[in-house]
Amino acid sequence: MEELYKTYKDKAQFLIVYIKEAHAKDSARPLRFGPQILTPKTIDERVKVAQQCSTALNFTMPMVIDQMDDKAAKLYGGHPDRLYIIGKDGRIAYQGFPGPFGFKPDEMEGSLKKIIKNKGVRRAWRF
């Protein structure tokens, strides 16, 4: 995703929407490796975890944080992760399948190229 961002950031707006932790230490499906994160209970805790994630993964893309009611995750089916392209008309132009197996940046890039060619990528986002 970082490569796509660096390649297309002048032609499309990219956002990471940080949603609830999929594998928090206190969840039904905790990871046995990697960072052991507890489920954030407040928006400040979620922001802190999101910042740690962004730093650890060397993201340069802008990131927004889903509220504690998980509205963005519920609306877009983003759990645990998913790729979207929103067209200039505000409609979903590409919807990837849930990750990690449905997380296919190369597939998304093909759609993005077609949309850019047709000048249909939205420059302003609303959630």
80 part of a folded domain = yes
Q: How far is CA 90 from the centre of its chain?
A: 17
Query: What's 8's domain CATH number?
Result: 3.40.30.10
Domain for residue 122, yes or no?
A: no
Please write the tens of the pLDDT for every residue from 12-56. Answer: 888 888 988 877 888 887 877 777 888 999 999 999 999 998 998
The answer to whether position 126 is within a domain reads: no
Residue ranges making up the domain that contains 7: 2-117
- List, in sequence order, every beta strand (DSSP E) within the chain: 16-18, 63-65, 84-86, 92-95
Q: What is the pTM of this model?
A: 0.75
**Number of folded domains in the chain?**
1
Is 35 contained in some domain?
Answer: yes
